[in-house]
């Protein structure tokens, strides 16, 4: 099994081109409950914690005694890394899974044959899942649908519809050559960030116009705002 950081590959594209060597692979999603609490301390540090009053009473602790933190916890700086290491070890211990699996923080996506489904069931025994869906679901802002013939369709229609809008007053429209205010510039930056995610996944047709807008961000005018609103918002 090869483990790659999510951002190194266009993962949803990767799944949309799934090879199916032994029959149709069923695509599914899942989320892992309380993922950041499931990592184990592996860096050799000894971390102490002040137990709450109820814990002191249950454990019959003396006033000068404290507890050692053996697992991860919310707020721990390296909690994401500990979770990654815990998950990686668990996936490698499953061996050959006859499928593909991708994890983004605590959201999972995968596809494979019957043996793969058994491996995912073992993973769920160790890391309880929350919701699970099959065939049609939203994953990292992308709607993924597996057709009856096994082909996979990706779309971001809902994501595109929710793009940030830029409000331009009537008075501002009368000054197209005026430089944008800092508030307006921040609105453009927010719009660019939203568009970039869509363009890199399912809307490559937006890439050229996005590039022009990015180039103008430091010298943007009200006219640029109006064109951006007309094009993207």
Mean pLDDT value of segment 211-225: 88
Q: Which of 26-40, 69-83, 183-197, 203-217 has the lowest mean pLDDT?
A: 69-83
User: What distances in angstroms separate CA 182 from CA 4, 125, 186, 189, one per listed residue?
Assistant: 39, 51, 6, 10
Q: How confident is the model at residue 1 (pLDDT cuts 50, 70, 90)?
A: very low
Domain boundary assignment for the chain: 9-32+80-147, 159-232
> pLDDT tens digits for 115-157?
888 999 999 999 999 989 998 998 888 888 888 887 888 888 8
Domain 9-32+80-147 bears CATH identifier 3.40.109: no
pLDDT at 4 exceeding the cut of 50: no
User: What distances in angstroms separate CA 164 from CA 3, 69, 202, one per listed residue?
Assistant: 34, 42, 18
Q: How confident is the model at residue 72 (pLDDT cuts 50, 70, 90)?
A: confident
How many H-runs (helices) and E-runs (strands) does the chain carry?
Answer: 9, 9
> pLDDT tens digits for 74-111?
777 788 888 888 888 888 888 877 888 888 888 999 88
């Amino acid at each position: 099994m090869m483990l790659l950081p999510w951002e190194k590959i266009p993962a949803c594209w990767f799944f949309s081109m799934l090879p199916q060597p032994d029959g149709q692979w069923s695509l599914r999603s899942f989320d892992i409950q309380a993922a950041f609490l499931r990592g184990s301390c592996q860096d050799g540090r000894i971390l102490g914690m002040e137990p709450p009053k109820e814990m002191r009473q249950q454990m019959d602790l003396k006033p000068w005694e404290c507890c050692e933190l053996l697992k991860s916890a919310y707020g721990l700086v390296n909690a994401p890394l500990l979770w990654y290491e815990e998950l990686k070890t668990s996936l490698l211990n499953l061996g050959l899974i006859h499928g593909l699996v991708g994890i983004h923080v605590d959201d999972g996506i995968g596809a494979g044959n019957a043996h793969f489904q058994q491996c995912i069931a073992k993973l769920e025994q160790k890391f309880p899942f929350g919701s699970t869906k099959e065939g049609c679901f939203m994953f990292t802002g992308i709607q993924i649908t597996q057709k009856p013939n096994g082909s996979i369709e990706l779309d971001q229609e809902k994501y595109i519809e929710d793009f940030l809008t830029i409000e331009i007053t009537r008075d501002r429209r009368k000054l197209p050559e005026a430089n944008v205010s800092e508030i307006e510039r921040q609105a453009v930056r927010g719009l660019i960030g939203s568009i970039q995610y869509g363009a890199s996944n399912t809307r490559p047709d937006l890439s050229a116009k996005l590039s022009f807008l990015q180039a103008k961000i430091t010298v943007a005018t009200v006219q640029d705002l109006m064109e951006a609103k007309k094009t993207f918002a």
